[in-house]
Structure 1
Amino acid sequence: MAFSINSKSAREKLKPRREPYWSRIRAGFFVGYRRSEEGEGTWIARLRSDEGKQVYHALGTFSGYDDAVKAATLWASALDAGVSPKGMTVKQACEHYVEHLALHKGAASERDAEGRFKRLVYDAKLGKIDLSKLRTSDVTAWLSAQVVQDEDDAEDEEDLRRAKDSANRNLASLKAALNHAMHNRLVATDAGWKTVAKFKDVGRRRDAFLPAAQRNALLDACPEDLRRLVKAMLLTGARPGELANASIQHFDREQGTLALEGKTGYRVVTLSTAAVAFFSECTKDRIGNGALLLPDFNERWNKDLWKKPFKAAAAGAKLPPTAVMYSLRHTAISEMIAGGMDSFVVARLAGTSTAMIDAHYGHLRHDKTRARLDAVAIL
C-alpha cells in the first residue's frame, strides 16, 4: 500500500511505526519518514550502491519534505563522489589523524596531537558529533570555551593572551585532523570548520620592558592608590591578582617575607630591604585581615579597578602602547635575571617554572655571562 509523505497533513495521518514510510526520488534512491508517537518524526535516506547493497543514512528532523530531499540528495552526491558511507565522529577523525602522524611525522608530533585531543576532544561534546553534521557553531563554541570568559578570572591581560594563543594551537590541530578526514573522503565538505577563525594578535607576548626612567614616570603619573600597587609589582615581580588577594597578616615584617597565593598555588617569597620598608609603610597602624594594598573607596583591588587607571597613567607617562600591567612583572623578572640572580630562585619568587624563565628571559642570563666571559683575557 502506498503512503504519501510529501505534505505535513499526509504525514500526520500515518501510524507510528519503526519501519519508515518511503518516497522514491529516483531509481534506487529513497527518502523515508519515521512517524513517532510524540513530537516530530525523523527522516532517513536509502541508496542502493553499485554493489547492490542498501545504504542508509539518518537525516534528522526537517519541517518539510523538500528540505529532507535536499539533505538526502547531498548525502547521495557525496557517496557518488567516493565519500565513505560509514560516517565518522570528530573523535574518530582525531584518532585516525593521530595514527597518521605516528606513521608519517614521528612520535613527537603524535604525542603533541594526542595530548591535545585527550584533553579537549575525546570526552567533549564536540567529539561525539558526526563529521557530516558538524557545524561552524559547534567548533566556535569549543574554541571559545577554552578561553577565560569572565575577565575577573584572568589575573592580567597576559593570562588572557596566553589562553587565546593556546586555543589557536588547539584549533590548528583539530582542523588538521578534520582536513585529513576530508582528504581521505570520510566527509564530503569542510564547511563545518573551514571558516572558524583563530584569535588575532595573540601569538606573541607583549613584553614591554620599562627602563628606570619610564618606571619613575609611570609612578609619578599614577594616583596614590595605584602607585602603591605598581610599586609592589616592581618590587616583587608578583602578579597583580596575587597582590590584590594578599592581606596584612600575609606580610611578615620580622622575617621579611610575603605569602602569596594565585594561579600557581601558595608560596612565601623573600622580600628585599626596600620591599620590607615599603610594605611596612603600607601596613602601618593596620592589623588583621584587611587588604595589604588598599585602593581608594574599595576593600580590594580587582582588574576592573586597575585597568582604566593604569591605562591613563601609562598614557600620561608616555609609555609605549605595548605597556600593560603585566609589563611591570616582566620588568621586575628581567631586572632580577640581569642582576645575576639564579633562574631557580627567580622562578620561586615569581611563582612560575624555570622552563618559563629560561624560555623568555634566558637571553638576559646569556648576555650577562657573555659580558663576564669577555672580561676574561683568554687569548
Structure 2
Amino acid sequence: MATEKAAFDTPAKRAKLAANRNPYWSGISGGRGGLSLGYRKPTRGVGSWVAKIVIAGARVEERIAPADDAGAGPDALPYPQAIAAALSWGRQQYAGIEARQTGDVVATAPTVRSAIEAYISEREAKSASGADAKSRLGKHVLSDERFAELKLSKLTAASIRRWRDGLPNTLRPSTINRLLNDLRAALNAAVERQRRELPAHILGDIKSGTKALPSATEARRQVLSDADVRGLADAAFALDETGDFGRLVLLAASTGARFSQLAALTVADVQVDRLRVMLPVSKKGRGVKQAARIAVPVGDDVVSRLKPALNGRRGHEPLLMRWHSRQTGPFKWERVDRQAWKTASEALRLWSAAVASAGLPAGTVMYALRHTSIVRGLRCGLPVRLVAALHDTSTAMIEKHYAAFIVDATEELARRAIMTLAPAALVQLQVVEEDAA
C-alpha cells in the first residue's frame, strides 16, 4: 500500500519497507499532484526510483534508475541524485506535455527506431545512397529489438555502447564507423525535431556513444603512388570494354570526388575547352552550401578518355552510365538498358578485379583515390583551404585527418626561408704575379 512522504532517503530505511508493487511516493515539486519521486520495493533484489508528474489532467509515470540498495550496480542512484534526476525528468515531461497540447510535436514518444526510419526516409528522398544506409541500419540496428524500441528519453551513452558491443566481430572497423555515422545522424536529427521532449544531456550521450573507433584508419593510410593510380585506371578500362567503369575510376582518381558526386555528373559538367569538370557539391552536412558546382581542373588525357561519353549526347543527361542486365537462366544474363550509376556497391565486383589486376593489396578501397587526391594537393604545396574547396570538405576536416601531410608540405616551404647563421668561410686570396714588362 502506497504511503505519502514515506521515508526512503537511505538504504537502511528502504530495507525496512515492505515489498510492494506500487511505489512509495514523496512529493518534491509543484504541491498536490505536481512532481513526485517514488521508490518501488521488489520482493527480492534492488529497488528502483520512479518519477510521476500530474499536470492539467495529464499523468505520466516512468522508472528513472535503480536505487543504491545493497547489491546494486554502478548505475544505481542514491537519494539526492534520484531527486535531481526526477526534477530533470519532470522538466522534460512538462515541456513534452505542453508541446503535445499545442500541436508542436507528435503524440508518440520518439524511439531509436522512429529516429532511424525518419532518417532513412530523408536519405532515400535525397539520393540513391540512402539504400546503403537503409541496409546497414536495418541489419545492425533495427534488428536489435531491445535497442531499437528504446525511447530517446532513456537513451544514454552506456546503452549505445551496449548495442555496439553486440555487433558481429566480423565487421571491419571502417564498416562500424560508417554505421556509427548513420546512427549519430539519425539520432541527432530526431533530437533536433523533438528537443522539447528530451533531456538536455542527450546530445552529449549520443556524441560519446557513437564516437568513431580509433583503429579504423586503414582507408586514410591507403595513399597510393601515381603509378598505382595510373595502374588502377588502366585496369578499369581493360576490364570493361564499354569504358563505363573505366570512366568512373578515371574521374574518381583525377578529381578526388565522392561516389555520390560522380554519379550526379551530367554531360554538360565536362568543359572540354577549359579542361575542367564541374563537380556537383555533395549533400553531406546540414548547412546550405554557397555553390552548386565546384570547378576541378583535369588533364587533357582525362578529357580525351571522357569524349566517347560526350559525343552525340545532351547536356542534361547523366555522364556516367552502365549496362543494366537481367538474369535469363542459370549463369545467363542479358543486357536490358543503360542506366546511371546509383550506389558504390554496384562497382564493388569490378573494383576488386581492378585492384587485383593492378597488383595492389586486396583491401584497397575505392575511397583511397579520394585520400590520394587530397594528399597529392597538400604535397604539391596547395593551400589547405584550396584543397578543402576542391574536395568539397572543410579545412577542419583536412587539418584533423591529414595533419601529417600538411606538416610535410609546410616544412618544405619553411625550409626555403632558413637563414644560414654560421660565419661565412674565409676566402683565401691568390697572389697574381704581374707579367714582366
Task: Give the structure 2 partner of residue 262 of structure 1.
Answer: 282
Per the alignment, residue 360 of structure 1 pairs with: 401
**Larger deviation, residues 369-378 vs 295-304:** 369-378
In structure 2, give the amino acid aligned to 1:29: A
Cα distance in 1 for partners of 2:414, 2:15 equals 83
1:71–1:161 Cα change, 3 Å: same
Matched, 1:232 2:241: no
Equivalence map 1:140-219=2 (5 Å) = 140=163, 160=178, 163=181, 203-204=216-217, 206-207=219-220, 208-219=222-233
* Uncovered stretches (5+) of structure 1, i.e. residues with no partner: 4-18, 20-24, 32-42, 49-54, 60-67, 96-119, 145-155, 171-176, 179-195
The whole-number CA distance in structure 2 between the counterparts of 1:332 and 1:197 is 28
Superposed counterparts of 1:266-285, under 5 Å? 266-274=292-300, 275-285=302-312
Percent identical pairs in the alignment equals: 22
Q: Which one has the bigger strand percentage?
A: 2
1:132-156 deviation line (CA, Å, top 9, x unaligned): xx99589739x99xxxxxxxxxxx9
For the structure 1 residues 240 and 47, does the alpha-carbon distance in structure 2 shift closer, same or farther, using more than 3 Å as the test?
Answer: closer
The amino acid across from 2:154 in the alignment is: I
What corresponds to 2:316 in structure 1?
289
> What is the aligned partner in structure 2 of residue 129 from structure 1?
154
Indicate how the Cα distance of structure 1 residues 373 and 300 shifts in structure 2: closer, same or farther if over 3 A, else same: same
Judged with a 3 Å threshold, the aligned counterparts in structure 2 of structure 1 residues 363 and 137 are, in CA distance, closer, same or farther, namely: closer
CA contact (8 A) 2:177 2:216 kept: no
Give the whole-Å Cα distance in 1 for the aligned partners of 2:215 and 2:183.
Answer: 5
CA distance in 1: counterparts of 2:376 and 2:160, whole angstroms? 45
* Residues 80, 330 of structure 1: alpha-carbon distance in 2 compared, 3 angstrom cutoff: closer
Distance 1:210 1:73, change over 3 A: closer
Q: Can you list the C-alpha shifts for 1:18-42, whole angstroms capped at 9, x where unaligned? A: x9xxxxx9964241xxxxxxxxxxx
Q: Which residue of structure 1 lines up, in the alignment, with residue 339 of structure 2?
A: 299
Aligned to 2:327: none
Q: Which amino acid aligns with 1:215?
A: V
Is the alpha carbon distance of 1:369 and 1:56 closer, same or farther for their aligned partners in structure 2, counting shifts above 3 Å?
closer
Cα distance in 2 for residues equivalent to 1:323 and 1:333: 17
1:331 to 372, 388, 403: 372
Maintained 8 Å contact 1:126/1:138: no
Q: 2:384 aligns with which of 343, 348, 370?
A: 343
TM-score normalised by L of structure 1: 0.54
Higher relative contact order (CA 8 A, sep 6+): 1
**2:235 is equivalent to residue 221 of structure 1:** yes
1:250: Cα distance to partner? 2.8
Which residue of 1 is the match for residue 356 of structure 2?
Answer: 315
Total equivalences in the alignment: 266
What CA RMSD, in Å, does the superposition of the two structures yield over aligned residues?
Answer: 4.8
Structure 2 gaps, min length 5: 5-13, 27-35, 50-65, 71-76, 92-114, 116-149, 168-173, 189-200, 203-208, 325-337, 421-437
| Alignment-mate amino acid for residue 45 of structure 1 | P
**Residues 260, 268 of structure 1: 8 Å contact kept:** yes
